[in-house]
């Protein structure tokens, strides 16, 4: 992990309020899927890094891609950064998804909801490169199914199932509704999305007898494990805190669903 | 050129430290900066037993600062000694352990437990903790309670004692004087200023704890003023902190009367912030032809 003044390769909107940025950085060499980087705003009134998941690591391991939603002033400022501009980032942070949990002959479901979708792309490519069997189940708000073509390219169109809140595309409802409607089963589930979705994933995985790995969000200050701002409640006393608190920025953001109280 | 300073017989190679709770015990910053550059590292507050801390959200960004309500989560003194102090073994920097507790007995218990730990150069007593026996008013908000706890801790301690003062009082010099009178070797200030942030869209508090401590550049003028006032009021050394981001900020504190300074929240903005402050102070001394950092202390009065 390091802080680096990196170079923006491109930064463009892909749909309303969602931006896609490629950054040339040596952090890409150490990065794994499911990890995140901290992006520092330049405005001196905003001093904390914004945690953003790694969406793609380039094949030559020289650049990283992030896809982010403008959620407030910091991400709004970041969306105004231009190609060739410097950007200060911290990373790679956190533990990431472990693609090696999945074995040949087993099946995985990769669930993404809303702005939780982007980190599932790199994971898909890593499973694909190992010739492992997986399907995407993606939850969108409406027919604005951003990046859908990219998931289809990764997994093959037949292996991408979508759900929309308004029913305008795919199954009406949540990713869980889409799993049920299609009678999907899995040995391993990887998920990133809003908290209600992750709670449902935890429940569904228990019923299915699948091991679920979920990526959590929490407010962060340091991003390196020092401030203890970003904790989540764990079921067991964890080794670092000696209380039932794990740090999302170090022990997470990815947890086994059974290990956390959400 | 001399950048070293002394506090209660302990020599620091430079006056720059990292503030408690913003730097873990240094482990977290391995690879991000060189901790051996530091004059001292002040560890996260540690209590007799593990503390869970507050519910989340525990942190919130504010204009040029942040609020925190971590609630002094810590793994307890035993784990701290086995793990954190062990990590600091052999590292060329001074170690100051920040101590917290809910009763006088708890503070004294931690201090006694640390008495034979060779790696501990000094103790910093965080009196912003709620005093459960006195209606949860912080030890540091009442000069009598502060005098009493200082006296007990000083008596039990083998290492020199720094009392860390809370700014959430009417007259900080009263607290500085109580610490000095009770035998403290030094004082450090300021701890965070109690604040609040409200999410207007959701119409609720941003922090689960409702209130939190404000830190960062936003509080620096308050901190400089308080350090100056205390420097006029007591003769024991002062470690100044509150919003230090650059060497110029650190020098403000030194010119106001601080012997040493600590970098806190800005470690989150830039893990190398403290090292940049050290380099910047040296550059300033060269630029102004100053041979000894000690000659700058308190010259503005
Ligand atoms: C591990 C992790 C990975 C993430 N990955 C992505 C991603 O790939 N794409 C994406 O669009 N968003 C992601 N987020 C959410 C993103 O960090 C926030 O949307 C962003 O910090 C908002 O900043 P702001 O200044 O625009 O909003 P403001 O509300 O103005 O921010 C104020 C403060 O709150 C913090 N904050 C606000 N919302 C969140 C949140 N949801 N999670 C954590 N901190 C928050 C900010 O960092 C800042 O410190 C991720 C969050 C985490 C914890
Ligand atoms: C996240 C966080 C945790 C802190 N924890 C402690 C602590 O455990 N003990 C303590 O005495 N002060 C603690 N502080 C206060 C700092 O040490 C420092 O006094 C204060 O933040 C002002 O300095 P700054 O503006 O440079 O951050 C904490 C501050 C922050 C931001
Ligand atoms: S953000 Fe500081 S410990 Fe996780």
- For residue B89, what pLDDT is reported? 96
- Under CATH, to which class is B5-296 assigned? alpha beta
Q: Is the pLDDT of residue B131 over 80?
A: no
> At which residue do the structure tokens 């309303």 appear?
A16
| Identity of the residue in A45, A219, A224 whose CB atom sits nearest the CB atom of B28 | A224
User: Is B68 close to A243, i.e. CB distance below 8 A?
Assistant: no
Atom number of ligand 1 nearest to Cα A93: 1
Tell me the mean pLDDT in the region B124-152: 89
**pLDDT tens per residue across span B196-207:** 999 999 999 999
Q: What is the pLDDT of residue B35?
A: 97
pLDDT at A233: 95
Instruction: Say whether B56 and A242 touch across the interface (CB within 8 A).
Output: no
* Dihedral, B110, B230, B189, B158 alpha carbons, nearest 10: -20
Predicted pLDDT of residue B130? 79
* The pLDDT of residue B301: 86
What pLDDT score was predicted for residue B107? Answer: 96
Q: Considering chain B, what percentage of its residues have pLDDT values greater than 70?
A: 99
**What mean pLDDT comes out for the span B13-34?**
97
Whether the predicted pLDDT of B137 surpasses 90: no
Domain boundaries, chain A: 2-93, 99-259
- B80: Cβ contacts below 8 Å, ≥ 6 apart: B25, B43, B46, B74, B97
Q: How far apart are CA A114 and CA A69, in angstroms?
A: 10
* Cβ neighbours of A46 in B, within 8 Å: 61
Provide, as residue numbers in chain A, all residues whose Cβ is less than 8 Å from the Cβ of B270. Answer: 3
pLDDT of residue B205: 98
Mean pLDDT across the stretch A68-79?
98
What's the gap in Å between the CA of A194 and the closest CA on chain B?
A: 16
Choose among B272, B246, B242: nearest CA to B38. B272
Tens-place pLDDT, residues A55-67: 999 999 999 999 9
Strands (E), chain B: 5-7, 10-12, 16-18, 40-42, 59-62, 65-68, 94-99, 122-126, 161-164, 186-189, 193-196, 198-199, 204-205, 211-215, 238-241, 260-263
**Cross-strand bridge partners of residue A4:** A89
Residue B70's pLDDT band, with cuts at 50, 70 and 90, is very high
The predicted structure's pLDDT at residue A81 = 98
Residue A213's pLDDT is 98
B269: chain A residues, CB-CB within 8 Å: 40, 47-49
pLDDT tens sequence across A187-211: 999 999 999 999 999 999 999 999 9
Average pLDDT, chain B: 96
Question: Which CATH class name applies to A2-93?
Answer: mainly beta
- pLDDT classification of B152: cutoffs 50, 70, 90: very high
Per-residue pLDDT at A164 exceeds 90: yes
The crossing angle, in degrees rounded to 10, of helices B273-287 and B247-256 is 70
pLDDT at A177: 96
Contacts 24+ apart (CB under 8 A), B113-117: B113/B48, B113/B77, B113/B78, B113/B81, B114/B77, B114/B81, B114/B157, B114/B158, B114/B159, B115/B156, B115/B157, B115/B158, B115/B159, B116/B158, B117/B81, B117/B85
For residue B283, with 0-12 CB atoms within 10 Å meaning exposed, 13-18 middle and 19 or more buried, which class applies? exposed
**Terminal C-alpha separation, chain A:** 28
Tell me, yes or no, if B129 is annotated catalytic: yes
What's residue B9's pLDDT? 97
The whole-number average pLDDT for the span B284-297 is 98
Residue A167 region by backbone torsions, left for phi larger than 0, else alpha for psi between -120 and 50, else beta: left
Catalytically annotated residue among B81, B100, B129, B230 = B129
Q: For chain B, what are the domain ranges? A: 5-296
Q: What is the mean pLDDT of residues B282-291?
A: 97
Decide which of A100 and B133 is more confident: A100
CB within 8 A of B195, min separation 6: which ones?
A: B62, B67, B211, B212, B213, B214
What would the mean pLDDT of A120-128 be, rounded to a whole number? 97
Query: For the domain with range A99-259, which CATH number is right: 2.40.160.20, 3.40.50.80, 3.60.20.10, 3.90.1150.10?
Result: 3.40.50.80
Identify the pLDDT of residue B225: 98
Angle in degrees, 0-180, between the axes of helices B104-114 and B143-156, rounded to the nearest 10: 30
Angle between helices B220-233 and B172-181 (to 10 degrees): 40
Which backbone phi and psi does B97 adopt, to 5 degrees? -100, 125
Per-residue pLDDT of A5-15, as tens digits, reads: 999 999 999 99
Q: What is the ipTM of this complex?
A: 0.95
pTM: 0.97
């Amino acid at each position: 992990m390091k802080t680096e003044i990196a170079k923006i390769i491109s930064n463009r909107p892909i749909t309303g309020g969602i931006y896609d940025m490629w950054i040339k950085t040596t952090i890409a060499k150490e990065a794994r899927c499911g990890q995140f980087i901290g992006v520092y705003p330049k405005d001196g009134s905003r001093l904390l890094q914004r945690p953003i998941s790694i969406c793609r690591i380039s094949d030559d391991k020289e650049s990283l891609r992030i896809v982010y939603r403008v959620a407030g002033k910091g991400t709004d400022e970041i969306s105004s950064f231009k190609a060739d501009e410097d950007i200060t980032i911290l990373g790679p942070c956190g533990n990431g998804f472990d693609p090696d949990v999945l074995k040949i002959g087993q099946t995985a479901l990769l669930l993404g909801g809303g702005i939780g979708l982007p980190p599932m792309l790199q994971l898909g490519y890593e499973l694909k490169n190992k010739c492992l069997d997986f399907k995407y189940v993606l939850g969108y708000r409406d027919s604005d199914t951003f990046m859908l073509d990219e998931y289809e390219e990764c997994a093959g169109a037949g292996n991408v199932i979508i759900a929309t809140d308004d029913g305008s595309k795919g199954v009406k409802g949540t990713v869980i509704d889409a799993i049920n409607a299609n009678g999907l089963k899995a040995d391993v589930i990887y998920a990133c999305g809003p908290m209600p979705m992750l709670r449902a994933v935890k429940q569904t995985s228990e019923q299915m007898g699948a091991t679920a790995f979920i990526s959590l969000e929490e407010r962060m200050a340091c991003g390196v494990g020092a401030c203890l701002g970003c904790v989540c409640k764990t079921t067991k006393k964890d080794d670092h805190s000696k209380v039932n608190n794990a740090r999302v920025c170090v022990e997470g953001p990815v947890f086994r669903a059974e290990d956390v109280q959400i | 050129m001399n950048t070293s300073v002394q506090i209660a017989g302990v020599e620091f190679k430079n006056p720059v430290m990292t503030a408690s709770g913003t730097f873990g015990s240094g482990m977290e910053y391995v690879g991000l900066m060189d901790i051996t550059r530091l004059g001292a590292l002040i560890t996260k507050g540690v209590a007799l037993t593990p503390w869970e801390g507050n519910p989340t959200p525990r942190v919130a960004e504010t204009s040029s600062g942040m609020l925190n309500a971590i609630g002094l989560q810590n793994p307890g003194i035993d784990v701290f000694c086995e793990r954190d102090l062990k990590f600091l073994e052999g590292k060329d920097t001074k170690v100051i352990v920040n101590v917290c507790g809910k009763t006088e007995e708890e503070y004294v218990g931690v201090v006694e437990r640390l008495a034979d730990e060779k790696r501990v150069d000094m103790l910093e007593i965080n009196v912003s903790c709620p005093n459960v026996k006195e209606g949860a008013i912080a030890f540091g908000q009442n000069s009598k309670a502060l005098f009493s706890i200082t006296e007990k801790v000083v008596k039990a301690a083998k290492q020199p004692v720094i009392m860390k003062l809370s700014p959430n009082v009417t007259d900080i010099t009263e607290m500085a004087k109580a610490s000095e009178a009770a035998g403290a070797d030094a004082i450090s200030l300021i701890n965070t200023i109690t604040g609040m942030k409200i999410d207007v869209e959701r119409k609720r508090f941003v922090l689960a704890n409702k209130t939190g401590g404000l830190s960062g550049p936003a509080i620096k003028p308050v901190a400089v003023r308080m350090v100056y006032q205390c420097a006029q009021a007591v003769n024991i050394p002062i470690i100044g902190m509150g919003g230090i981001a650059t060497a110029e900020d650190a020098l403000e504190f030194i010119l106001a009367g601080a012997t040493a300074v600590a970098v806190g929240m800005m470690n989150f903005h830039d893990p190398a912030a403290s090292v940049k402050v050290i380099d910047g102070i040296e550059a300033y001394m060269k630029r102004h032809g100053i041979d000894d950092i000690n000659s700058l202390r308190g010259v503005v009065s």
